[in-house]
Structure 1
Amino acid sequence: MDQGERLLHSSSFGAAAATYAEHRPDYAQAAVRWALGLAPGPRVLDLGAGTGKLTATLVALGAEVIAVEPDRAMLGELRRSLPAVRALAGGAEAIPLPDASVDAVLAGNAMHWFDMAVAGPEIARVLAPGGFLAGLWNVMDDGIEWVAGLAQVSGSAAAGPRDTPANWRVETADMHLPKTGVAARFGAPEQAEFPHGQRRTADSLVATIATRAGVLVMPEQEREAVLGRIRAFLAGRPETACGEFTLPMLTGVLRVRRL
């Protein structure tokens, strides 16, 4: 994805902020604990916090959270749902915090949007030595047969390049900091995956998929065709045709330690 296309995709979420807040999943608590790599209660920066999905999990774990988000509409949803959290306008490339002011920096389904050549030094600046930088991604568990079918029907634009375990591993394998010129500030990257799930109906799962960047930027006719195929698939599967079901997921984590 070139820089222009990345900007188009990354800036698409504000128009769907309320729907994003309603339908996107939270993060497995075990994954968040591993991402922190610290005792409960650290100062944590949720970077690219969106509507606060990861922020809420961090708060539930007892962390002192500062949320930073560049999109005004997404930030508004976060402030509405989590009024006690300090939530600031800003981005990974210009973080509005002092040097060494947080013990961990986490990014939920957001790190792939950062310009790491700029964001890497900024993150190193605000992160105290010994703390972790971690990206978390919720991915569909395509080891389940019907989920694999859903991913195939959705297509790459709707499913997203990191939306299955195998793709997540490939997409994040090179998302470490040596390429940014700040390798001396971070240790070797580590990956881990944690079971997760989200209670859905066919309609709410379609609404969830509709909040993905690849779908949001589609021309309307193409978007409706893709979502129509997904609705038809879900209506034809016994696992998803009648009422609520659990969408099997994993929360994948990539972390590096600040040296």
Structure 2
Amino acid sequence: MALDLSRSFGQAASSYEAGRPDYPPHAVAWLLERVADRRPLRVADVGAGTGKLARVVGQLGAQVVAVDPDPAMLVALNMAVPSVPTFLGTAESLPLPDDSVDAVVLGQAWHWVDPAAASLEVGRVLRAGGALGLIWNFRDENVGWVADLGEIVGPNAAETMDAVGGPRVDEPFTGLEARTWRWTRTVDRAGVRAMVHSRSGFITATTEEKVRIDRELSRLLDSVRAVGEATVELPYVTRAYRAVRP
């Protein structure tokens, strides 16, 4: 993983938890559809962050273990989901035995990895016929004010990857199935600000740049009437991809 940005999130774990959207359960169920009949279903959430994806996977009835390179994020995950075992590690170096899980899922994370090394390592820990699932929530910038928000905060690595055709996987995986869902999240002013503050580009920005982003964000939110306790409808596009280990 790209160390400078991918391991920056721990210092903003509270903003990440408050500001990032949850994953639609039907999209997560689709990631696990090929292995859903396995009992017990064991799933590794890699790049687990504060556990947003792990929570949905657990609600779908799977046994979940969480892996993340940032100790601070795992502390936040332990507080949010104390029943989920946590391990330090990356997609390229998983602290899991061979053939030990039925699925490996990554939420908002595959764009940080070396696809060749991560594909091999995921293939190592998956049982035969196991699933790799990748999922991202993207703001829908077809909506005018959301496009303006994108101009203020700038693109991130995931958005750049999406713009050039999506994620890449390598051996032992031979391709990805893809699905897209559109939905809307009701969020207040503080939630939008927390979402912006949870982005790696903001976390690692200079003080001057953070002041600029916050100033322009306030003006934008005023213009869409997200003032005080008022809420706005923030549209999202969820893109999910899955592959099966031979």
TM-score (norm 1): 0.86
Partner of 1:54: 53
- Give the secondary-structure state (helix, strand or coil) at the position aligned to 2:154: helix
How much has 1:42 moved relative to structure 2?
A: 2.0
Cα distance in 1 between the residues matched to 2:56 and 2:236: 16
Letter in 1 for 2:90: G
* Equivalences for residues 62-211 of structure 1 within 5 A: 62-156=61-155, 160-163=156-159, 169-177=162-170, 182=171, 185-211=172-198
1:152 CA drift (Å): 2.6
CA distance in 1, matches of 2:161, 2:179: 11
1:39 aligns with 36
Do the aligned partners of residues 138 and 241 (structure 1) sit closer, same or farther apart at CA in structure 2, a change above 3 Å counting?
Answer: same
| CA-based RMSD | 1.9
DSSP 3-state at the match of 1:162: helix
Q: After superposition, give the CA deviation of every residue in 1:146-177 in whole Å (9 maximum; x if it has no partner).
A: 22232233333xxx2434xxx56434535221
Q: Is the 8 A contact 2:183 2:235 kept in 1?
A: yes
Q: Give the equivalent residue in structure 1 for 2:10.
A: 14
Specify which of 209, 220, 233 is matched with residue 207 of structure 2.
220
Q: Within 2, Cα distance between the matches of 1:234 and 1:66?
A: 38
Question: Aligned pair in 2 of structure 1 residues 230, 241: CA closer, same or farther (>3 Å)?
Answer: same
Mark the CA change 1:172 to 1:88 in structure 2 (over 3 Å): closer, same or farther. farther
Aligned in 2, Cα 1:84/1:66: closer, same or farther, shift over 3 Å? same
Residue deviations 1:17-63 (CA, integer Å, cap 9, x gap): 12212222110111111111232662111011011010111111111
Verify the 8 A CA contact 2:108 2:135 in the aligned structure 1.
Answer: yes
- Paired residue for 2:235? 248
Superimposed CA distance per residue, residues 50-106 of structure 1 (whole angstroms, 9 cap, x where no aligned partner) = 110101111111111111111110000111111111212222122111111111110
Q: Secondary structure at the match of 2:98?
A: coil
Amino acid of the structure 2 residue aligned with 1:18 = S
Residue ranges of structure 2 left out of the alignment (5+ in a row): none
Distance in 2, Cα, partners of 1:136 & 1:172: 14
Query: Identity rate of aligned residues, in percent?
Result: 36
Q: What's 2:222 paired with?
A: 235
CA 1:70–1:247: 2 relative to 1, 3 Å: same
CA displacement, residues 186-231 of structure 1 (integer Å, 9 cap, x when unaligned): 1321221122333311222012111100111111111110121111
| Cα displacement (A) at 1:116 | 2.5
Question: SS of 1:9's equivalent?
Answer: helix
The runs of at least 4 consecutive aligned structure 1 residues that moved more than 6 Å come to: none
Q: Distance in 1 between matches of 2:77 and 2:7?
A: 17
Alignment of 1:28 with 2:30, yes or no, is no
Whether the aligned pair in 2 keeps the contact of 1:172 and 1:254 (CA below 8 Å) is no
What is the distance in 2 between the residues matched to 1:197 and 1:209? 17
Structure 1 51/152 Cα, relative in aligned 2: closer, same or farther at 3 Å? Answer: same
Aligned letter for 1:257? V
SS in 2 for 1:233: helix
